[in-house]
Amino acid sequence: MPITQILAQNCRLCGDETCLVEINPERRDARRVTWREYELIEPARSPHYRREITWNIFDEKANRLANLLISRGIGKGDKVAILLMNCLEWLPIYFGILKAGAIAVPLNFRYTPEEIKYCLELAETDALIFGLEFIGRVEEIADSVGENRMMIFYGAAECPSFAEDYNELTTDRSSLPPDVGISDDDFAAIYFSSGTTGFPKAILHRHRSLMHACRVEQAHHGQTRDDIFLCIPPLYHTGAKMHWLGSFLVGGKAVLLKGAEPKYILDAVSKEKCTIVWLLVPWARDIINALDRGEIKLSDYALEQWRLMHIGAQPVPQSLIHRWLEYFPRHQYDTNYGLSESIGPGCVHLGVENAHKVGAIGVPGFGWDVKIADDSDRPVAQGAVGELCVKGPGVMDCYYRDPDATRETLRDGWLHTGDMAMRDEDGFIFLVDRKKDVIISGGENIYPVQIENFLSAHAAVADVAVIGLPDKRLGEIAAAIVKLKPGAAASEDDINAFCHGLPKYKRPRRVIFADVPRNPTGKIEKPKLRAMYGAREIVATQNRA
């Protein structure tokens, strides 16, 4: 059945129960200026801005948006983009789009104006719902993208002239569900990944994929209505939303936390009685480091109910989990592997019963088939390295408007992940390397070509290559190997200053002045660079540890 029916089911079974809580742990005198002024809950005792809604309110909000979209001619097969920071309205907006029969298109909140425009046009979106933080970026492209596209502003501020106000549009709309027939075969969502050029690909999924994500997550982690899920990562990312779907399936509560500092996480777990937390590697490492330094003490928090910590989005160091279990010996632990093309995490997972195999990404997930194949798509022998391929109900339908990339990635129903892996004698899968050059830093994908193109515009730069180097906290950092023009001069500070024109997360963390090796066809020999500089960084990382 389509995922929208789960929302209707939750309203029938537990409609008056709280489903979502939103917390901003910043105090009134330190909050971001873009943060909406919310009424405090227990203001004398709590520094938090906190809101909550029930399943019935969730459903009503979704219905109002769905009825608005339908009244504007947006329905089956149309696409509505979401450009919002995590907030209480994010998920009702997502489901309102689905209830209209339309396709939800979440956008990365770090996208530049150029990337926002590219994604809106690639996905052929009919509307954009954007938040206060994005007024400036959207305004830069409004003239070119707004002419044939409904522009809706959500936020507690004056609506910009190029958009319509979300609250005004939805307040008087019917809160009853629209009469739209939706099936498992209908298209539901487009998520964005990236190709070899560094520009995003549009990944198209049907409702059956979203339902499979619900079942996979609940089968792996055994959520019940009594569990409370702490959600910290951005909801545009399949990892955050698909992990939440396990709670959604059983009517469990979730807490949306704005901020990832160790004290914020532990305070939210303690006060909201969270039982399940999904972390990125840097956040888990920050908690351990804060505990090691004595900046926080576990005795200051009520954490007895916290039963599961799971982690993913990048390779997970064994040492990190061993240290984690020293502080939290009663925790269940799971590693989750997945891609947006496989509707997020879970096609491979370690399993809470397999903590002794930390270091592996695990075994095939619930309802998934896995093979490790050679270049001819034949399974390799146990212990040999090949490309990890997955098959199951959560595989994407296609890369939207990119048949060549679809044929390359989807073959005979198998999704070719681009990750190299091997299987040990016990059947556990280990990642070995990536075919792609994408750098995963703190759970975010960084595309070297974008940085290389940017740095090539520097007057002193003759050639440049960007690679990922190991980093204890972030997993990887971007490093730029820069070859200067003859007679030109530039320092590391000069290059770093020039890179302020990039979004902060894309800026290289290291600059190395050296030759850039290229093969006879002109391609940068990145394996050679990683071999040259990666080994040095591993030694340096070990020394820093």
Tell me, what's the pLDDT at 334?
96
Instruction: Give the whole-angstrom CA distance, residue 358 versus residue 351.
Output: 10
Q: What CA–CA distance (Å, rounded) separates 115 from 111?
A: 5
2 in Cβ contact with 9 (< 8 Å): no
**Whole-angstrom Cα distance, residue 391 to residue 475?**
28
φ, ψ of residue 172 in degrees (nearest 5): -95, 5
Please tell me the predicted confidence (pLDDT) of residue 85: 94
The 10s digit of each residue's pLDDT in 309-336 is 999 876 777 888 989 999 999 999 999 9
For every residue of 143-171, which 3-state class applies, written as one string? Answer: HHHCCCCEEEEECCCCCCCCCEEHHHHHC
Q: What is the pLDDT of residues 121-158, one digit of tens each?
A: 999 999 999 999 999 999 999 999 988 899 999 998 99
pLDDT at 359: 85
344 burial type by CB count under 10 A (0-12 exposed, 13-18 middle, 19+ buried): buried
Task: Report the pLDDT value the prediction gives residue 198, as an integer from 0 to 100.
Answer: 58
CA–CA gap between residue 212 and residue 173 (Å, rounded): 32
Res 196: pLDDT: 38
Measure the N-to-C terminal CA separation of the chain; round to a whole number of Å.
Answer: 50
Integer Cα distance of 287 and 44 in angstroms: 27
Smallest Cα–Cα separation from 355: which of 383, 376, 380, 324? 324
How far is 211 from 540, CA to CA, in rounded Å?
45
Strands 398-399 and 150-154: unpaired
Interacting residues of 111 by C-beta distance below 8 A, sequence separation 6+ = 83, 119, 137
In 377-472, the DSSP E strands lie at 386-391, 398-399, 410-411, 414-423, 429-434, 439-441, 444-446, 461-471
Backbone angles phi, psi at 459, to 5 degrees: -60, -25
Q: What is the 3-state secondary structure of 113-139? A: HHHHHHHHHHCCCCEEEEEHHHHHHHH
192, 201 in Cβ contact below 8 A? yes
**Which stretches of the chain drop beneath a pLDDT of 50?**
27-47, 195-197, 520-521, 538-545
pLDDT at 536 (0 to 100) = 59
All domains in the chain, ordered by first residue? 439-544 (3.30.300.30)
- 270 neighbors 302 (Cβ within 8 angstroms): yes
Structure tokens at 281: 């590697």
Residue 46's pLDDT is what? 41
Distances (CA, A) of 396 to 392, 417, 509: 9, 12, 34
**If you search the block for the tokens 């309203």, which residue do you land on?**
11
Provide the H-helix boundaries in 446-545: 448-455, 492-498, 526-529, 535-544
Q: Which residues of 2-26 are buried (b: 16+ CB within 10 A; e: fewer)?
A: bbbebbeebbeebbeebbbbbbbbb
